[in-house]
Amino acid sequence: MNETKENMTGGAGKILVVYATTHGCAESAAQTLSSQLEGQVTLVNLKKNSNPDLGPFSTIIVGGSIHAGQVQGRVKRFCQTNLQALSRKRLGLYLCCMEEGEKAEQQFAGAFPAELREHAVARGLFGGEFDFAKMNFLQRAIVRKVAGIDRSVSKVKAENIHRFAAALNSRA
């Protein structure tokens, strides 16, 4: 089921935000982003709808998160399957990850095809979070060992989401 919300402040057209999420960070980012975009926004979780119709939308935003070092396979498949269609739309790409700087840039590069990264009018690194309440025992153990973190932590960057939305709104 798709969630649609109308923002009456702009005439930016129809915007589709497709995302995949493992523990909810990319979904939360999609919801925050949608509240800041001008136009009619539809949210689609790729787990629930892996092949949404892109035709009616003037802008497509694709987002995901890094889980076990990689973006979700659903995001990669969506981008590959729709490469040509996405190349003909206004495009935004975002990634939620705990890394910063060059490592985050490398994860972003690994998450999206070069053609789409070059075509995108907005690219965003939104930070990330480890939510221990949403992880199973093994996931918590891995995060403790690999990241050295022993409790839930959020490094979501609201200002990056805001800048991403502003970049899309200014290019309406």
Residues 165, 33: contact at Cβ < 8 Å?
A: yes
Domain range list for the chain = 3-170
* CA nearest neighbour of 111 among 154, 99, 121: 99
Burial label for 119, CB within 10 Å (0-12, 13-18, 19+), is middle
Residue count of the chain? 172
CATH fold of the domain at 3-170:
Rossmann fold (3.40.50)
Question: pTM of the predicted model, to two decimals?
Answer: 0.86
**Residue 5, pLDDT above cutoff 50:** no
Cα–Cα distance, 42 to 40 (Å, whole number): 7
Higher pLDDT, 94 or 8: 94
How many C-beta atoms surround the C-beta of residue 46 within 10 A? 22
pLDDT at site 11: 40
Summarize pLDDT for 138-160 with one digit per residue, the tens: 888 888 888 888 888 888 999 99
Summarize pLDDT for 101-144 with one digit per residue, the tens: 999 999 999 999 999 999 999 999 999 988 888 888 888 888 88
SS (H, E, C) 27-95: HHHHHHHHHHCCEEEEEEECCCCCCCCCCCCCEEEEEEEEECCEECHHHHHHHHHCHHHHHCCEEEEEE
**Residue 33, pLDDT above cutoff 90:** yes
